[in-house]
Structures are given as C-alpha cells and as structure tokens.
Amino acid sequence: MVRRQGRTVSKTYVHAPGFVAGDRPKIVTSRFEFADSYTLERYLATDGYKGLRAALSRPANEVHEDVKSATVLGRGGAGFPAGVKWGLTPQQVWPRYLVVNGDESEPGTYKDRLLMECDPHQLIEGCLIACYAAGLSQCFLYIRGEMAVAQERVAAALNEAYAAGYIGKNILGSKFSVDIILHWGAGAYVVGEETALIESLEGNRGMPRLKPPFFPAANGLYGQPTIVNNVETLANLPWLLNHGVAAYTAIGTKTSPGTRMIAVSGHVKRPGVYEIINGTTTFRDLIYGQEFCGGIRNGNALKAFVPGGGSAPWFTPDQLDLPFEASQVGPAGSMLGSGAVMVMDETTDIPAAALTLTHFYAHESCGKCTPCREGGTWLERILRRVVDGDGTDADLQQLLEVGAMICPGAFPHAANEKLGLQAVAFPYKMTTICFVGPSAFAPVHSALTLFRSEFEARVKKRVTIPVTAVGVSV
C-alpha cells in the first residue's frame, strides 16, 4: 500500500494485469502483491492450506454449516448461496461431484482468470474444502479453453499440491481422499451455464439442459448429484475456514457478506479489477471514487453503464447510488450478475454498443431453443440494419416484438427521471431454457428504452407496413 498525502492510492501489479489493490479488506486477492503469488512456496508462506487443515480437524457437516451461516454467495452470476446449494443434494446418493466453473466469458467479466493465474492454490484449497464438506468424491476444474496461462498455472499448482500431499489419497494423513482433474473447454460462451458445463464435461455439445429436471445438485454429471461452483466462490473458502464465520460476516452486509471482485471496464480513468466490500460499496464509489476508477475519462459525462455483465439491463447515472446488493439492484431493474461494470461515456454510440452485445449473444447461442437460435440472429440483423442507417421506424417496433418472442411480458429496465420511466424489476419471463436468448434482447431493450432518440435519429423516416409475403413491401 502506498499512502500519499494521507489518502490511499491504488496500485496495480504487473504480474496481475488489470488488478488494482487498495486499502480495503482482501479475502481473495491478498497474495496478488507478490510476483510469485502462484507458487506453493509463497502460498504456504501466506497461510496457505491452513483453511484446509482447519476443515479437516472438524466433521464435514460442521464445515458445511460454516459455509452456510457465512452466506457465501455464488459469484458466477445468479448469486445463490453456496452452502444452500450444497445442501440441495439428495441424501445417500453416491458418488457426488464438484465441477468448478472457470469458463469465465461473460462480457465485461474478468476476475476468475486472475484468481486462477495469480493464486491457483487458493482455488485448489477452496475445492478441497468444498469436497470435504459436501462429501464430493471427484472434482473437475473446468477452465475456459482460451486461457492458456491460467491452464498452465493451475496445472503446475495441481502438480505441486499432489506431490506435497494436499490432493489425492488420504489428504494430510486423513480419511479425506479426492482427485482434482484439470479440464479445459474449447470456446463456447454458453458452457458457462452450469448444465451446459456438465454436458461439455461429459464430452457433448455444450447445450443447456432444462431445470428441472436437470438441477445439477440432484441430477448433474452422469446423472449424479453435482455441485457447480464458480472459481471466486470457492476461492473464498480458505479465508473463511481460516478466519471463521464471524470475521467473514463482519465484512459487508448481512445479506451480502464479504467482498467481491468487480471488473470495471470502458470509459473510466482507471479501469481495473477491484476487490470491494460487498453490499455497501455503491456504483458511484466504484466509478468515481479516487481509490477505485477515479471518474470518467477526460472528465466526460457518464451516459450509461452495465451493472452486472453483458446480460444485465443497463443503468444510467440515476442509479449510481445503488450499492452492490442484489435486493436493491433487482427491483431497480437489473442484476449484479458476474461482477462486471461496463461504463459508457457521453461519446458512446448507443445503438452500436448494444449491437456488440446482441451480436455476442446471437453468436454464442447454442442453437437448442428456437427463440434464441432464430430470434437472437433476427434481432442482430435488424439492429445491424438500424446501426448501418438502413433501418426504418417499423424496425424499432420489430426489435421489441422479436424480443417479446424470447421474453414475453414486461422486460426489466431502470427508472429514468428525465424520461419519466418507472423501474420494472428483474427478472424477466423467458421462452428459452437458459439466459443466452434473453441476453441478446437485454441490451437492445435497455438501449431502446433509455436512448430511443438515438435510434430514431438513425432510422429513415419511413414506415414499412408488415407484409405477408417476402419481398412485397410498400
């Protein structure tokens, strides 16, 4: 920590690109300051595997109880408490598996890769604690395919940990035995969805399964009870076991305890990944705070921001004072998602920005559900036409109608004082299995709702009458 003139100045580390440290509690990023943070040596020198030892000294169900009472929220997107998730496994059905979701690819999200590259042992220790607590007999650590360095660091760490007796048979001389198998994907965003991840791990096309009946906790990998946890979620466990529930819940709020990693990208002065206090830190703190992003580039005005990864409906400056607390962000019309804030300043071409996201989700559709496969591409084609200046007024209406085929009913959006808009709370209704289809519509809907004038300026003032046959238009 560097203190200058009595105030904290955040510091970035060359070996943890994008990460910005600060004078805040560090649960998962405490070792990022060391250049050799990914080695077993450094890990052991900084409380490494102490959480595991603490866990092994107690019965499994007590460890599980700790995770439950600490309310460790899932960091992958849905924010479901990990301890509760583990408890959803049916009694006396064996074997059970742990699948670690390291397929980080939600637009704007950048944290799991850091955790894997900079502190792989912390993740491994988290996996071991989870397996011990929930009786999981094999762990699959699924890393996104396009992350060669993360794969190398985790592979090396696993090799070190196996050799040192932290993984495998009779860990640290106990009855606890588990293998951790390193596995990596091959480029498909949708595989980040837990049931698709399981399909992929079974060697199949990564197409999501319908929940129910395919809730992984009951019916997951090979049809067995399976816990799918995000990398950051598991990375919290060593600290929790080491310092105890009270220390953990002392940070943050009751419903959102601890910290969480947030990547802020786009038009801010100091984009980066910040470990923030959960529940209390606001978007204003993060975007404008001096120990965080320090405001918008060039002193520009903020136009809009995406609060929780590319799938999330957008916010405008009206929502800056909301904290990172799901119970407040949901009613305000969006979600916290995967901890990714994308900031757009006043110079942003809103329809074009929305197009990058709609293109992303249309491109990443697995093709299983008709509304997503056909509707996503259709949305993208209409929107591209509009962005290219070839659209019509009717196209804007058509965008909303195609969207309604994916998400029927009112779609969530933020309140806006200037436009006189009341918020529509999250979540949306959907005709698809997973959220990829709705996510193709979310940016279109937000952009059209909050910045309709920009679209209108883009389209020719020409109305196309809906036609019944292709090629016949007025």
Partner 1 sequence: MTIVDPTKESAVDPSVVNITINNKPVVARKGEFIIAAADRTDDFIPRFCYHPRMSSVGMCRQCLVEVETPRGPMIVVSCMTPVVEGQIVRTTTDSVKKAQEGVLELLLANHPLDCPVCDKGGECPLQDQAFSHGPGESRFVEEKRHYEKPIAISDIVYLDRERCILCDQCTRFADEVAGDALITFTSRGNDTQVLTFPDEPFSSYFSGNTVQICPVGALTAKPYRFKARPWDLEQTESTCTSCSVGCRTVVQSSRDELVRYQGVDIDPVNWGWLCDRGRYNFESVNSPDRLTTPLVKTGTELAATSWSVALETTARMIRLALAGNANSVAILGGARGTNEDAFAWAMLADKLGIDQRDSQLGDGLSPEVFNLAQATIDETCTASTIILLAPDLKEELPVLYLRVRDAAQKRKSRIIEVSARDSGLTPHAWRTVGFEPGHQAQAVREALSTPEMKEQLARGQVVVVVGRPNLAENEMFTLQALAEVFVAEPSVKVLPVLRRGNVRGAIAAGLTPQNNSGDAIDILNAAAAGKIDCLILLGADPMADVPDSGLVQRAFTQVKNLISIDTMINDSNRNADVILPAAAYGEKNGTTTNLEGRISNVAQKITPRGTSRPDWMIATELSISLGVDIGVSSLEDLNSKLVGAVAAFAPSIDAKSTHGDGVLMARETPVTISGNLSRAIDRNAYNLRLVVSRTMYDSAGSTVSSPSLAGIVTDAAIFVNPLDLGRIGVAEGTNVRVGAEGTNIVIVIKSHNGVHRGTAWLPFNHTGVDIRPLLNISSDVVDVRIEPIK
Partner 2 sequence: MSRLNETNTKSAREIIAKYPRPKSALIPLLHLSQEQNGYITREAMQHLGELVGVTSAEVYGTATFYEMFKFEPIGKYLINICRTMSCALMGANELMHHAEKKLGVNAGGTTPDGMFTLAHAECQAACTEAPTLQVNYRYRLRVTPTDLDNLIDNLRDGKLKDEFPPHGVLSKVRQIIPADRAVGAKDPEDVNESPAWLDGKAAL
Calpha distance 411→413 (Å, rounded) = 6
Nearest to 63 by CA among 129, 138, 137: 129
- Among positions 224-243, residues that touch partner 1 (CB under 8 A) are 224
Q: Give me the residue label for tokens 């397929």.
A: 103
Site string for partner 2, 190-229 (x = CB under 8 A): ----------xxxxxxxx--------------xxx-----
Residues in contact with partner 1, counted by CB under 8 A, come to a total of 44
Cα separations in angstroms, 270 against 15, 120, 237: 17, 26, 29
Q: Which of 85, 113, 413, 458 binds partner 2 (CB under 8 A)?
A: 113
Distance in Å, CB of 57 to partner 2, minimum: 12
The minimum distance between CB 196 and partner 1, in angstroms, equals 11
Three-class secondary structure of residue 234 per DSSP: helix
Give the one entry of partner 2, partner 1, none that residue 47 binds, where binding means its C-beta sits below a cut-off of 5 to 8 angstroms depending on kind: none
- What is the Cα–Cα distance from 139 to 98, expressed in whole angstroms? 5
Q: Which of 120, 208, 271, 375 is the binder for partner 2 (CB under 8 A)?
A: 271
Segment 365 to 394, residues that bind partner 1, using CB under 8 A: 365-371, 373-378, 381
CA distances from 399 to 127, 380, 405 (A): 44, 9, 10
350 contacts partner 2 (rule: CB under 8 A) = no
Q: Interface residues for partner 1 in 324-363 (CB under 8 A)?
A: 362-363
Residue 385, H or E segment: helix 370-387
Residue 97: strand pairing partners: 138, 226
Picking from 115, 123, 106, 104, the residue whose alpha carbon sits closest to that of residue 18 is: 115
- Name the strand (E) or helix (H) holding 7: strand 7-9
175 binds partner 2 (CB under 8 A): yes
Q: Which of residues 2-31 bind partner 2 (CB under 8 A)?
A: 17-18
Q: Is residue 473 part of the contact set for partner 1 (CB under 8 A)? A: yes
CA dist., res. 244 & res. 254, Å (int): 15
> Where does this chain touch partner 2 (CB under 8 A) — which range of 37-45, 100-108, 414-422, 461-469?
100-108
* 141 contact partners, CB below 8 Å, separation of at least 6: 100, 102, 123, 127, 154, 158, 180, 181, 182, 183
Q: Binding mask 397-436 vs partner 1 (x if CB under 8 A, - otherwise)?
A: -x--x--xx--xx-------------------xxxxx---
Kindly tell me which of 182 and 421 has the beta carbon lying closer to partner 2.
182
Count of positions on this chain that bind partner 2 (CB under 8 A):
97
Residue (303 or 368) nearer to partner 1, CB: 368
C-beta closer to partner 1: residue 246 or 469: 469
CB atoms within 10 A of CB 428: 21
Residue 17 three-state SS: strand
CB of 184 to partner 2, least distance (A): 7
Which range of residues in 2-10, 30-38, 143-151, 277-285 is near partner 2 by CB under 8 A?
A: 143-151
The correct pick among 129, 342, 372, 386 for binding partner 2 (CB under 8 A) is 342
